[in-house]
Structure 1
């Protein structure tokens, strides 16, 4: 059965270029699927694995990312969403993170604890956001493809081409072996994207050439001129700190981002609390009430005074943030940032957050405005805490 046949049976939307690619390459061991943002590659691979689970029996699947929090917020949620949407019977084990379809098991394991995978055997492996992995990770995972199968076992890698010097390009894409198939796609192959998102991607040509090349054209870029290098990843935040503040970047079609920042001397622990699209102000208020923010100051995007006022009336100490981007970035750079590993979107943003370059390659004194919602929230919190907007605490 092809994805096209599955469409007719349970009426799901597919992108033809992926259906053709998977059908032509059933005998290949390694499938590299890369390209720009919005190309639908993650959806397509999830659909392909669901199809394999419907057609086969007794197979083991591994879906993996570098960390468990990122895996839970992406593939784990995506595959469950698709199974519910398509009405496919399945069982979910939330404590051990596996899904059963017929008598096939889909295991969701991260590589932050390699012992979980070391002795296991699989028929199909999906490495989502493969740029998070190193070459040794890939080789080790490929060795796990030894579970008995009449068909070809496969490992699938999906990623954005963010670094022209990455092993994915040098070891796989540039010189693919006979058992490797490569597909590059862009947003143009995805007919299901909203017009607003398409315009945002096209606008990147006027914003930053490197971002446009990576995220719109799906071509290899070079991430240079990064803004923040003063950060690392931690398991949790400390309880005893000097100050706790919050930064809030409003959105609707784009995500609303709320981050908590805990300050102790020259260190700032950062924890992502909300990163979600299509939130009304009432939705946001309801979510924030469950976070036990208390009387701590929340610094929010000053271009949304009405939303700030609504949150203030709902009982939060919300104040307009300092808006100077350059000054705000300078203040954030004074701290050693400790970002919790479950702050998935914040980590993804900070890894790519860079200064703009014009068409002549000159570096400008402003960041690229793309996928920067948590970065804005982080800047609001730290810069406003130090600046003139420091509030008087409102006692409720």
Structure 2
């Protein structure tokens, strides 16, 4: 069984994939990092390397096996779905047992801890462990202290790490503390990948992927460069592609929720997100995300008044219970997702019998998710969202934050964009499995 699985997994590997698979298994290769552009084959070969490593462990183990990532949803998507969807890993599927969102998996009969590390507090989840082998999914989006705690727990002679990431800022801690220090870190191995290293991608698919990114995202996601955030954030924004008439809103599977950014002196906004069932340019039906409607209270307006949180909550309630689609529908927003810093506004909404949830506020991840969706026209906005449409063209990176290795926007005229980002990022586990279709004629 194992020989067959190994043969299948290694068959058809590209030259760079095969080289990295061989090098990561040599003595002295304790910390192995696959990094580079999207769809470059790095996840496939890193998962294969981890599976082969676990399969060859013998007897009772002195340490623990661990898979860590930003959250359980991203781990499931990037690690376990790679196994279930990749033909070359088919023979391993019987050896991998995992139920989505479970805290443990079993691989070749051995228990593996599955840990989402979405903030510094998650560092406590791994404190006290002795790690024998760890797979790290998307290392740059993991909080620095948690990542370094993982390294600290790799205290056995035979401890081994398999990690992946896409490029980030050149001042990011992973680049500064590890990638740039490879010459003095003899037990680290770095494998740089580009799309041409993935033998399963056709030239037409690579051309389509290249056409979907511009600016910063093109250099990082396509060229695999570690470059600073600079200039426009949503350089791909094009009203002719991304803005649709509200009256043309298609049938919706679900109204996933409303993302709220609260302000007292600044505008308060709420963006309603739905996932559609509509005809693609190819003539087939598919699903994508729509920002359908927008609530906005701006105390800076000539006719607007500065309202208390309770008064604004009342205005939002009135808006929430209106019809938001241009046709009759029983659908209603499923979640009200609020800026996590605005707990007082959440309480005011709760007093009005409106349940709320705190929004996911990983700014860099949220922005990159929205940017990727816009690039592929998997996210569009109706003309009932004027705040979002007005703010998108001027949304820019903060050059001072970039010097500190942080991708942060300039905090000016971004309130509707923040509301949209909250609802998109926080509901990702709901819409990601439903997203499909080709939405650009160029694709």
TM-score when normalising by structure 2: 0.55
| Residues in 2 aligned to 1:169 and 1:248: alpha-carbon distance in whole angstroms | 46
The residue number in structure 1 matching 2:52 is 51
| Residues in 2 aligned to 1:70 and 1:248: alpha-carbon distance in whole angstroms | 33
Q: Summarize the Cα distance change of 1:79–1:105 in structure 2 as closer, same or farther, 3 Å threshold.
A: farther
1:161: Cα distance to partner? 1.2
Q: Say whether 1:64 aligns with 2:85.
A: no
| Residues in 2 aligned to 1:199 and 1:50: alpha-carbon distance in whole angstroms | 32
The residue number in structure 2 matching 1:383 is 386
Classify the secondary structure of the residue corresponding to 1:38.
Answer: coil
1:111: Cα distance to partner? 1.5
1:269: Cα distance to partner? 5.7
The residue number in structure 2 matching 1:210 is 216
The residue number in structure 1 matching 2:194 is 186
Q: How does 1:153-172 map to 2 (within 5 A)?
A: 153-172=159-178
Classify the secondary structure of the residue corresponding to 1:123.
Answer: strand
1:184: Cα distance to partner? 0.7
Q: Any stretches of 5+ residues in structure 1 without a counterpart?
A: 229-245, 251-255, 286-292, 300-311, 318-337, 355-366, 388-396
Q: Deviations over 1:1-54 (max 9, x none)?
A: 999x84535786533422321322332121121101110211221111111222
1:80: Cα distance to partner? 4.8
Comparing 45-54 with 89-98, which one deviates more in the overlay?
89-98
| Residues in 2 aligned to 1:382 and 1:114: alpha-carbon distance in whole angstroms | 39
Q: Deviations over 1:141-174 (max 9, x none)?
A: 1112235x7xx32123311112111112211112
8 Å contact 2:30–2:188 — kept in the other structure? yes
8 Å contact 1:248–1:380 — kept in the other structure? no
Q: Summarize the Cα distance change of 1:249–1:143 in structure 2 as closer, same or farther, 3 Å threshold.
A: farther
Q: Say whether 1:370 aligns with 2:379.
A: no
Classify the secondary structure of the residue corresponding to 1:260.
Answer: strand
8 Å contact 2:83–2:90 — kept in the other structure? no
Q: Summarize the Cα distance change of 1:386–1:31 in structure 2 as closer, same or farther, 3 Å threshold.
A: closer
Match 1:297 to one of 324, 327, 330: 324
Q: Deviations over 1:374-396 (max 9, x none)?
A: 4x35x766339999xxxxxxxxx
The residue number in structure 2 matching 1:111 is 117
Q: How does 1:20-31 map to 2 (within 5 A)?
A: 20-26=19-25, 27-31=28-32
8 Å contact 1:271–1:340 — kept in the other structure? no
| Residues in 2 aligned to 1:340 and 1:247: alpha-carbon distance in whole angstroms | 29
Q: Deviations over 1:336-393 (max 9, x none)?
A: xx9733x99x973514767xxxxxxxxxxxx99635634x35x766339999xxxxxx
| Residues in 1 aligned to 2:181 and 2:13: alpha-carbon distance in whole angstroms | 29
Q: Summarize the Cα distance change of 1:81–1:144 in structure 2 as closer, same or farther, 3 Å threshold.
A: farther
The residue number in structure 1 matching 2:137 is 128
1:187: Cα distance to partner? 0.2
Q: How does 1:148-297 map to 2 (within 5 A)?
A: 152-176=158-182, 177-203=185-211, 208-225=214-231, 227=233, 260-262=257-259, 266-268=267-269, 284=287, 296-297=323-324
Q: Summarize the Cα distance change of 1:54–1:225 in structure 2 as closer, same or farther, 3 Å threshold.
A: same
8 Å contact 1:295–1:316 — kept in the other structure? no
| Residues in 1 aligned to 2:272 and 2:42: alpha-carbon distance in whole angstroms | 29
Q: How does 1:140-155 map to 2 (within 5 A)?
A: 140-146=149-155, 152-155=158-161
Supply the RMSD in Å over aligned alpha carbons.
4.8
TM-score when normalising by structure 1: 0.60
